[in-house]
Structure 1
Amino acid sequence: MGNFACIERTKMEDNQQVMNTEEDIERKFEQEKREINLVPKKRDFFNYYKFIHSKKKNDKHNLDMQYFNIKRAKTVNTKRQKTFLIKECRKFHLNKVIRQLTMNEVVFVQQISHINIHSPIEMFEEMDKLYMVYEELHGGSLLELLNQYIEADTRLRNEEIGTIVFQLAATVHFIHQKNYVHRDLKPENICFEKENDFRSLKLTSFLTVKKRVENEVITGINGSYLYMAPEMLTGENYSEKVDIWSLGVIMYMLCTLKHPIGYFDNEISRQNLKEKLIEKFKFVPRDELIDFNCDEFKNFSNIVPEVIKKMLEVNPKKRISARDVMNNKWVNENFKNYKRKLLQEMRKTNKNVQYNAAFLAFKAKKIKKALFSYFANILATAEDKEMFSEMFRSMDIDGDGVLTSEEFQEAMTKFNQIRDGENAKNITKQVIKKGQTMELHEFINSAIVLKLLNFDDQDKVLKQMFDALDNEQQGEIDIDDLVEIFKDQGLPDVYIQMIVDYCDQDKNNKINYLEFKEFILKEDQVNV
Structure 2
Amino acid sequence: MSCMFKGVICDKAFGDYYILGKELGRGAFASVYKCQQKGTSNFWSVKLLNKKKYRKVAATEIGILLKLKHPNVVRLKEVFESAEEVHMVLELVTGGELFERIITRGHYSEKDAACAVKDMVTAVAYLHRNGVVHRDLKPENMLYEDLSEHARLKITDFGLSKILGTDATMHTVCGTPTYCAPEIFLGKKYTQSVDMWSLGVVTYILLSGYEPFIASTDREMFKKIIKCDYEFDSPYWDAISENAKDLIRKMLMLEPNKRITAEHALKHPWVMGLATKNVHMEEAVVQIKTFNAKRKLKKATEAVLAVARATHHLPLDMVQMVNIGDSTTPNTNTNITGGNEKMT
TM-score normalised to structure 1 length: 0.49
Letter of the structure 1 residue corresponding to residue 200 of structure 2: G
Which of the two has greater helix per residue?
Answer: 1
Cα distance change, pair 162–217 in 1 and its aligned pair in 2 (3 A)? closer
Deviation at 1:334, TM superposition (A): 5.3
- Per the TM alignment, residue 205 of structure 1 is displaced from its structure 2 partner at its CA by 0.5
Whether 1:313 aligns to 2:253 is yes
Q: Which residue of 2 aligns with 1:277?
A: 221
Which of 186, 201, 204 in structure 2 is aligned with 1:234? 186
The CA deviation string for residues 63-118 of structure 1, in whole angstroms up to 9 with x for no partner, is: xx222232222232x2x43332111233222xxxx311111101111011111111
Q: 2:35 aligns with which of 69, 73, 77?
A: 73
Structure 2 partner of 1:301: 241
Distance 1:139 1:256 in 2: 22
Equivalent residues in 2 for 1:59-98, closer than 5 Å: 65-76=27-38, 78=39, 80-93=40-53, 98=54
Matched residue of 1:74: which SS?
A: strand
Quick one: structure 1 residues 294 and 55, their matched pair in 2 at CA, closer, same or farther if it must change by over 3 Å? same
Aligned to 2:101: 145
Query: Aligned equivalents of 1:101 and 1:44: distance in 2?
Result: 21
Matched residues in 1 for 2:90 and 2:253: separation? 36
Report the Cα distance in structure 1 between the residues aligned to 2:138 and 2:211, rounded to whole angstroms.
12
Of structures 1 and 2, the one with the larger relative CO (CA 8 A, separation 6+) is: 2
Contact 1:139–1:197 (CA under 8 A) maintained in structure 2: no
Offset of 1:183 from its aligned partner? 0.6
Give, in angstroms, the shift of residue 49 of structure 1: 1.0
| Among 21, 35, 41, the residue aligned to 1:52 | 21
Whole-Å separation in 2 of the counterparts to 1:292 and 1:337? 17
The answer as to whether partners of 1:45 and 1:131 remain within 8 angstroms in 2 is yes
Over residues 349-405 of structure 1, what are the superposed CA-to-partner deviations in whole Å (9 max), with x where a residue is unaligned?
xxxxxxxxxxxxxxxxxxxxxxxxxxxxxxxxxxxxxxxxxxxxxxxxxxxxxxxxx
Distance 1:223 1:294 in 2: 30
Alignment match, 2:298: none
Letter in 1 for 2:109: R
Following superposition, the deviation at residue 302 of structure 1 comes to 1.4
1:290 aligns with 230
Q: Distance in 1 between matches of 2:126 and 2:275?
A: 17
Map 1:202-241 onto structure 2 (within 5 A).
Answer: 202-215=154-167, 217-241=169-193
Give the alignment's Cα RMSD to 1 decimal: 2.8
Q: Aligned pair count?
A: 278
Q: Does 1:175 align with 2:127?
A: yes
Which residues of 2 match residues 105-116 of structure 1 at below 5 A?
105-116=61-72
Matches within 5 A, 1:17-32: 26=4, 29=5
SS of corresponding position for 2:76: coil
Check the 8 A contact 1:260/1:290 in 2, yes or no: yes
Deviations 1:399-451 (A, max 9, x none): xxxxxxxxxxxxxxxxxxxxxxxxxxxxxxxxxxxxxxxxxxxxxxxxxxxxx
Give the secondary structure class of the aligned counterpart of 2:137: coil
Deviation at residue 175 of structure 1 after TM alignment: 0.7
Determine the C-alpha separation between the residues in 2 that align with 1:332 and 1:87: 34
Shift of 1:247: 0.5
| Amino acid in structure 2 at the alignment position of 1:290 | Y
Structure 2 CA distance for aligned equivalents of residues 47 and 260 of structure 1? 49
User: What amino acid is the match of 1:326?
Assistant: L
The letter for the 2-side match of 1:112 is L
8 Å CA contact 1:162, 1:334 repeated in 2:
no
SS of match in other structure, 1:137:
coil
In the TM superposition, residue 129 of structure 1 has moved relative to its aligned partner by: 3.0
Determine the C-alpha separation between the residues in 2 that align with 1:335 and 1:89. 44
The 8 Å contact of residues 241 and 277 in structure 2, kept in 1 or not, is answered as no
Pick from 117, 121, 130 the counterpart of residue 77 of structure 2.
121
TM score, norm. by length of structure 2:
0.73
Identity of aligned residues (%): 26
Given residue 132 of structure 1, which amino acid in structure 2 is its aligned partner? Answer: M
**1:405-424 alignment, distance < 5 Å:** none
Cα distance in 2, alignment partners of residues 106 and 186 from structure 1: 20
Equivalent residues of 2:8, 2:78 under 8 A apart:
no
Q: Which amino acid aligns with 1:181?
A: V
Q: Which amino acid aligns with 2:92?
A: E
Asked whether the equivalents of residues 221 and 235 of structure 1 are also in contact (C-alpha less than 8 Å), the reply is yes
Write out per-residue CA displacement over residues 33-70 of structure 1, whole angstroms, 9 at most, x where no aligned residue.
2xxxx2536323212111223224x3xxxxxx222232
Question: CA, structure 1 residues 116+334, in 2 after alignment: closer, same or farther (shift >3 Å)?
Answer: farther
Decide which structure has the larger Cα Rg and report it: 1
In structure 2, C-alpha distance between the alignment counterparts of 1:199 and 1:55, rounded to whole Å: 20
Q: Which residue number in structure 2 is paired with residue 186 of structure 1? A: 138
Q: Write out per-residue CA displacement over residues 95-147 of structure 1, whole angstroms, 9 at most, x where no aligned residue.
A: xxx3111111011110111111112222223344332112322111013235x
* Corresponding residue of 1:159: 111
In 2, Cα distance between the equivalents of 1:191 and 1:175? 17
1:238-294, Cα deviation, whole Å (9 max, x unpaired): 111100000001111111112111265xxxxxxx51x22232245x6x5xx221253
1:183-239: CA deviations, max 9, x gaps? Answer: 100001001011253541111110010121223641121100000001112211111
Distance 1:108 1:299, change over 3 A: same
User: Matches of 2:136 and 2:200 in 1, distance apart?
Assistant: 13
